Structure 1
Amino acid sequence: MIALARKTLVYEWRRFVPSVFAVGFAGVLLVMQAALVLGIFSTASIYVNATSADLWVGYPGTQSVNYGRAIGPDVEMRLRMDDGISAVEPYIWLDGDWRANGPDAETMGGVSVYLSGISTAADAMMFDRVLASWQRQLLREPGAVIIDRADLSSLASREGDVAWINNHKVRIAAAIDGLRGLGGVNVIASLSTVREIASVPEGQGNTYLVARTRPGADARQVQQRLNSAARSFGPHETWTAKAFAHRSQMYWMFNTGAGAGVLFMAIVVCLVGAVVTSQSLRTVVAGSSREYAVLNALGVSRSALGRVVVEQAFWIGAAGMVLAILASVALLALARVYRVPVALNVQAMLACAVLIAVLALFSGLGAIRGLLRADPAALLR
């Protein structure tokens, strides 16, 4: 009976094509939704993921990078005293108001930006995964800033233009890729430029401190050691880079309206895919109702017929999965061309594949359930 399932698929392939496309459509919806969710919320931790630091130190209880508060200047001394740390670097994060200096400045108004003050040293850790050494050197010029190329239109500016942040004059020294953030435009400047814009004296403290551990040192052990130490240096908390990035993503995903909306759309997409696939497979099985009735009347058990339908659903799901992979690769490539925030990891891809397989299996079982309970004599009328 299992051979019958494959032969039916081969010789009557036209009848099964809509089901394959239905499964493929559901798979594309799942993959693209997962890529959008991961891509959108990964931008919440772009500051961490674009930095090679192993540890982040900030104010206790900070839920996301963009909610940082200043920590005392003595905390840096505490980090430098630890034997497991090889380098420490300050990082200032603050909100800003961008005003363009072009003809559209009056009609456009101000744009909310996230201003990052980083070290301009050649071996600096902050944003070293997206900034080239020559781009970091450009920030040594007073008032120089770097933004994402995709945000130029949002700021009504071009590379080399002059603008104003919090009524301080700045110049776009370079535009790069990989800085797009969640909820605002990321602007990178030197520590001295940001302190001037924020009117913060150099010895007043920083929003964060990032640190690199020595070769062979365990970042987790160093983190635990720093967190268990006396707080005589001022209130602070240490996180590993991976944990802090995950913390920021989870906050935006589950504790904000934006996260709730995206997750709700993901659930809707799953339901739509399930309904489309189920109805398509029901139509295929209903079209073969007389053939199944004849086999049942000839003595073929209903369990054997059920196995035929299940195998058909398996092969339809496999073909639909291949179709979904090809379509998703094309759509993801197109999304990257237009700088749409998309991202996929192995876990997400495996989860989508399992969901597609389960969707096809249960849709096949649901499609055959009513048919196998029917009277063969009634199906042959």
Structure 2
Amino acid sequence: MSAQANQAMPRWVDLGLLPLWNLCVALAVAGLVVLAIGQSPWQALTVLIHGALGEARGIGYTLYYATTFIFTGLAVAVAFHGGLFNIGGEGQATFGGLGLALVGLALGPHGPAWVVLPLMVLAAALFGMVWAAIPGYLQAWRGSHIVITTIMFNFLASSLSVYLLVNWLRPIDSMAVESQSFADSARMPSLHSLAAWVGWELPSSPVNLSLVLALLACVFVHWFLWKSGAGFALRAVGSSARAAHYAGIKPRQQVLMGMALSGALAGLVAVNEISGVQGKLTLDFVAGAGFTGIAVALMGRNHPVGIVLASLLFGILYQGGVELSFELPGFSRDMVVTAQGLIVLFSGAMATVSTPLFARLFGRPAASPAAAQVKTTEAQHG
């Protein structure tokens, strides 16, 4: 076993300093790429930050993107703690959108918002849950690999969405592949409209009450994973399914539950995108957010607080990147995607590269299992 493996970093280093360092490295490498194409890295960074955070409208768009990423990041994190790599967030969010749209179209014209909106949220979560539970069942009881099945279910959800929109949900007199618009009672209120209702003036932006729902989901996930018995059982299976089995925990049920909860969180993306912004079911409304959620969860260390911070970062990148492509001549949208990809690479996929260095600088010797057991026994007997 290596020396680094015997070093335990303080939590503030693991969750705070190390991700910040990875972000700085990513920005430095992205800056070199910007310099190589003849642009000023400082000017690009200034435009990006100002476009995302410099004005109220830009902040609204940043929070709107961050809301979607919070849902998908939490979905990945919950499955990860159960030892599962759920990369089916795209399909689960798409299927959640179908459930939300069916409820919104059926009940929106006939019921008040305080009845219709909760039912739409519930439908989105339930449809996403079902779409994730099927791969969970196949993994637990049939031995299918969760990565393969969730990938294939992404395609299945997309194809099903196209079929239903083209043949069933599209208005007869419309050529656009989208459903009819929702009634007002099926629209999630935007923050600027709520602010106007109480006398405040905010510029229009797509951020809506789904942001509050996303933050509540963070609180729930934290409670579930670290405060509840069900969450402890899920994490135990994720750490060692064999050991959890000997402790009386049923790994198959935990796999199914973990995937179901993960899918429910992914399905809530539809609340923000469809009910909050589009106001109708459209094709590809997820737009890659399910895959971005993987990077968000990795960078956020699969913890709700870290996921919120990582989602804000990616919201800044998305909104600021749009401003970059408009404000800087020669800075194309492809270069924006390249810069975003470098940040994903260094902040997410290569998040553990600097871990040995920080373990040497800040680590303390980790107690052996025997020593930990002695310490626990002494604490129990005073």
Q: TM-score if structure 1 supplies the norm length? A: 0.23
More helix by share: 2
Structure scoring higher RCO (CA < 8 A, sep ≥ 6) equals 2
Q: TM-score if structure 2 supplies the norm length? A: 0.23
More strand by share: 1
Which of these two proteins has the greater Rg computed from alpha carbons? Answer: 1
